[in-house]
Amino acid sequence: MSRINTNVVSLLAQRNLSVANADVSRSLERLSTGLRINRGADDPAGLIASERLRSEKVALGKAISNSERAVNLIGTAEGALNEINTLLLDIQAMVDEAANSGGMTTSEVEANQLLIDEALTSIDRIASTTQFNGKKLLDGTLGYNTNGVAAAELSSVVVNQATFEGSQKAISYNIDATTATVGTSAQTAANLALADGLVRIEGNKGVAHVTFTAGMNQAQVMAAVNAVTTLTGVEAVANVGDIDYNSTEYGASQFVRFTRLNGAVFTVSADEDYGSNATVTSIDGSATGISVEGLKVTVKRSDLDLEVVITDDTVVQAAGTFNIEQGGAKFQIGAEINTNNQVAVGIRNVGASYLGDVTNGYLSTLKTGGTNDLDSGNFSTAATIVSTSTDQVAGLRGRLGAVQKNTLETAIRSLGTTLENITSAESLIRDTDFAEETANLTRAQILAQAGTSVLAMANAAPQNVLALLGG
């Protein structure tokens, strides 16, 4: 009976000592690695949760890094565009100065033209050489390409931003351009019997005063009106023996207005008339975010930003499609890879031959020998081209700035907060609580020492039996 009890005590001591030693080893491992979970057996459910959180941490960290790199890329592009803006202001000054023909000598005009040529060369150089990490930024590489555009319906398509899956996206449109009109007024041949006087002519561009005299014929009246078209935006067009006075552009903001002064006789069908805009039923299947001015259609949505110019007012309820090819500068700013966590912006080519428009001409036409150089005398057109180019560059800078401020920087702050909380949650599950684990180690060490002592005592118990036999 004494031997049986002795064996039981010995086995109990051995088992408890083994448990205590295992606890010591586990605590030492946790304290040395800093992790509470070193293998699945430590906490199966905790391991699954912590690995999922670790995956989210990696994705969030990379999303922050992506956003920061995007900010740097945009900053590089915006800095170069700022220089182009400065050059455009210099060109504008040269054009305005050359227009002062009464006070400028030929040599001074030539000097101004030389400065314009140098500025245009610099603009082209900036457009072709600005890059970030080997990627060209302003030469159109980061712009969007389109295909399938029906030139008979759309004369221009400019995509500023588009986010979609796949290699290209089909954009449908439904337009009625016959509703687009110019401001107009007519004067019949019978009403060309003018009396001496002054007529104030107003249009979308401004105001001018024209003197008419009795006996002026159709050609003389038209010449007098067209001589101030650049000031007023109103042009006279022959219609057999009659004259039509039209605003030079389409749209609800375009108008013609006549006011008679000093007893002038000037009989027209309407003293004031406004144009109207084209009707656009839908772009990409929706009427949301569409604005129309004359023949120009602008679409601004979260996933689509583009400008379309209708070819003319002969298109009746044109329903067609064109394709936007995947492009632009696309940034992955979220943990999950999908369109909701991506932002894209198109960066157009800002070379001199791309700034401007098809209506007035492009910036490159201001170079020596161009149709709008200073020798041409087309100062008004040149100024309009420079103004349009300035608006285009400023608009691009504004879009880039909006993406940086309202999307990227916001995403960085939001992702940073999320990363902090995810890291904290993962740490609570996976990391060692050193205070608790130190206490566990101390307890396990005490139990191991006690177990060793008890096992020694249990092993010594048989000696008492031998003592009985020896007595």
Nearest to 56 by CA among 303, 415, 405: 415
Homologous superfamily (CATH) of 35-143+328-431 is f41 fragment of flagellin, N-terminal domain (1.20.1330.10)
Among 5, 82, 24, smallest CA distance to 448 is for 24
DSSP letter (8 states) at residue 347: -
Q: What is the pLDDT of residue 462?
A: 67
pLDDT at position 28, please? 76
Beta-carbon contacts of residue 14 (< 8 Å; ≥ 6 apart): 455
- DSSP string over 139-160: SSTTS--EE---TTTEEEEEEE
Domain 182-274 fold is: Alpha-Beta Plaits (3.30.70)
- For residue 52, the model assigns a pLDDT of 86
Residue with tokens 């140098």: 118
| pLDDT recorded at residue 2 | 47
DSSP helix/strand/coil, 125: helix
Half-sphere exposure of 108 (CA within 13 A, CB side): 12
pLDDT in tens, the chain (471 residues): 445 566 676 777 777 777 777 777 777 777 777 777 777 777 788 788 888 888 888 989 999 999 999 999 999 999 999 999 999 999 999 999 988 877 888 899 999 999 999 999 999 999 999 999 889 999 988 888 899 999 889 988 989 888 888 888 999 999 998 899 999 999 998 888 788 889 999 999 899 999 998 888 999 999 999 999 988 999 999 999 899 999 999 999 999 999 999 888 899 999 999 999 999 999 999 999 999 999 999 999 888 899 999 987 777 778 899 999 888 888 888 888 887 888 888 898 999 999 998 778 999 999 999 999 999 888 988 999 999 999 999 999 998 998 899 889 999 999 999 989 988 888 778 777 677 778 877 877 887 777 777 777 767 666 666 666 665
What is the C-alpha separation between 283 and 40, in angstroms, rounded?
A: 55
Using a CB cutoff of 8 Å and minimum separation of 24, what contacts does 140-144 make? 140/347, 140/348, 140/349, 140/354, 142/327, 142/328, 142/329, 142/346, 142/347, 143/327, 143/328, 143/346, 143/347, 143/348, 143/349, 144/324, 144/325, 144/327, 144/328, 144/346
Q: What is the pLDDT of residue 1?
A: 43
Helix, strand, coil abundance in the chain, percent, nearest 5: 50, 25, 25
Residue 227, classed as helix, strand or coil, is: coil
Looking at residue 237, what is its pLDDT? 95
Question: Between the CA of residue 64 and those of 408, 417, 453, what are the distances in Å?
Answer: 9, 11, 57
Adjacency order of strands within the sheet including 279-283? 146-147, 318-325, 168-176, 279-283
- Give the whole-angstrom CA distance, residue 273 versus residue 105: 43
3-state secondary structure of 359: coil
Rounded to whole angstroms, the Cα distance separating 140 from 444 reads 69
